[in-house]
């Protein structure tokens, strides 16, 4: 009898980010028991990779699922290699409001704050 264990993944959401995610899930009528927030890394952006956030009804079969405060975070296998130790925050400033990313795996970034190199 074999059991598969999912790799350890440390992705944290600040309380400010978690509040916003829960608001978006409620607006989209996504159940926190099944659905959650997909956090992914995609090729592109001005530094080579960009972050993507998307509310989804359920995880994909190969996702790693990270429990957060009142919802789940879904991470696909490609993105996982770039996201260990990452934190997601939600900030409000004179320039506007939005999610920000602090990623110890990033070796460079740009002024937009949502693009990085690894």
Smallest Cα–Cα separation from 73: which of 86, 59, 87, 84?
A: 59
In a domain, 31, yes or no: yes
In a domain, 35, yes or no: yes
Containing 108, the helix (H) or strand (E) segment is strand 108-109
Count of the separate structural domains present in the chain: 1
pLDDT tens, per residue, the chain with 118 residues: 434 444 566 788 999 999 999 999 999 999 999 999 999 988 876 667 888 999 999 999 999 998 888 899 999 999 988 888 889 999 998 888 899 888 887 665 555 454 444 4
Residue 42 lies in domain: 11-117
- Whether 84 contacts 72, CB under 8 Å: no
Task: Characterize 72-96 residue by residue with b for buried, 16 or more Cβ atoms within 10 angstroms of its Cβ, and e for exposed.
Answer: bbbbbeebbebbeebebbbeeeeee
What does DSSP say about strands 108-109 and 49-56: parallel, antiparallel, or unpaired?
A: unpaired
In a domain, 6, yes or no: no
Return the CATH number at 86.
2.60.300.12
Strand partners, 84: none
């Amino acid at each position: 009898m074999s059991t598969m264990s999912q790799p350890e993944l440390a992705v944290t959401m600040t309380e400010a980010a978690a509040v916003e995610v829960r608001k978006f899930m409620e607006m989209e009528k996504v159940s926190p028991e099944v659905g959650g927030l997909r956090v992914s890394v995609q090729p592109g952006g001005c530094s080579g990779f960009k972050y993507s956030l998307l509310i989804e009804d359920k995880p994909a079969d190969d996702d790693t699922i990270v429990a957060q405060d009142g919802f789940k975070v879904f991470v696909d296998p490609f993105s996982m290699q770039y996201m260990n130790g990452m934190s997601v925050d939600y900030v409000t400033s004179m320039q506007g409001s939005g999610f920000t990313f602090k990623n110890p795996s990033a070796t460079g970034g740009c002024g937009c704050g949502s693009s990085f190199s690894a």
